[in-house]
Copies of this chain bind each other. A is one copy, B any other.
Amino acid sequence: MGVVTEPQPSRRRATVHDVAREAGVSRGTVSRVLNGGYVSEQARAAIEAAIRTVGYVPNTAARNLVMQRSRAVGFIVHEPHALFLEDPNIGAIMLGANTVLSDADLQMVCLVTDSARDTERVTRYLSGGFVDGVIIVSARAADPITDAVVRLGVPAAFVGHPQTTVPLPWVGIDNFTAARDITRQLAKTGRKRVGMVAAALDRDSGADRLAGFKEALGDTFDPDLVVEIPLYEYTAGLRATQELLERAPDVDGIFAASDAVAAGVLTALRRSGRTVPDDVGVVGFDDSSWAERCFPPLSTVHQPAAGVGERAAQLVVAQLAGQDVPRDGVLLDSPIVWRDSA
């Protein structure tokens, strides 16, 4: 039975100015309260009272909507669970990106997608304008997230080379050349029967490392000495090595497609009674923090993971600033680090 009053379109919405005037404080102080910063208890009480009096509604999300700016950049890790845990590079890439985004006062929001349902939800999240840009790690061919990014025109950069041709910049390393060079160096330690535990052949990194390995060995390449596993993963590396040793007990050198795989190779060799590097030389790929904690410490390819994350973030920040960036690849150096495993 009450009287329903229509909202009055002419009535001005209360602003931070109104709150500040009512509370007798500066706008900056009001902003600090709204943004969760520190102010004196007295000022806070006055501002909270003023907010109620003038009917102010903080409106950050609406402002972001209007400005098309969330001040957030998504960091999308498109990996199955196991790999995310196995790959210490992802953390380093993430922290490198965070440093650059933080300098630009952008909030990095990391979105993990390890299922079809995650992928669908992340795609929705991107469409909802919750981020102004994205960094995508490990995009696969025919990836709905990549498709959505391209369709929505979200400023983006990839870590690693997406296998589909998309008009977006990417940052990576030259996996082919690095794999070729470390295989050559392994062979030069006097190895005659060099095998490989190859991984993730459905991505450019995995496929390129195998191609580099073949190139290095040339005529001496023997396909029987290559065992393939689906992911860069310890347990798979261990089992693959057991298979390799059954096939070719005389193998005397092994290139593991990643450090985690190499750790599995070392365990399998130890269990078979072989010593490293005397009986078998082993090299890895990544130079993750655990490479030097293996026993013996791994000879490996250094991936500039933090640098890759920084560069990818810079490419997104540049696009957000309206700059043109080349829609192709940036390759960073990946030197060989020689330790004791070969």
Contact = CB atoms under 8 A, between A and B. Distances in A.
Given A263-B293, A293-B267, A114 B95 contact: yes
B62 A61 contact: yes
Main secondary structure on A side of the interface with B = helix
Contact of A111 (B38, B70, B109): B109
Contact of A130 (B117, B126, B130): B130
Interface stretch (A78-86, A168-176, A208-216): A78-86
Interface in A64-111: 64-65, 70, 72, 75, 81, 84-86, 88, 91-92, 94-95, 98, 102, 105, 107-111
B293 A64 contact: no
Interface residues on A, range: 35 or more
Contact of A38 (B9, B62, B91, B144): B144
Given A61-B65, A295-B295, A110 B112 contact: yes
Interface stretch (A29-37, A179-187, A197-205, A326-334): A29-37
Nearest to A117: B102
A289 B84 contact: no
Nearest to A38: B144
Contacts of A118: 98, 102
Contacts of A127: 34-36, 58, 60
A100 to B, nearest CB: 12
B112 A95 contact: yes
A312 interface: no
Given A70-B130, A98-B118, A124 B36 contact: yes
Given A112-B94, A289-B85, A289-B234, A35 B124 contact: yes
Given A84-B95, A102-B118, 6 more contacts: A35-B123, A36-B147, A85-B289, A86-B289, A108-B112, A110-B112
Interface of A: 9, 34-38, 58-62, 64-65, 70, 72, 75, 81, 84-86, 88, 91-92, 94-95, 98, 102, 105, 107-112, 114-115, 117-118, 120-130, 144, 147-148, 151-152, 234, 263, 267, 270, 289-290, 293-295
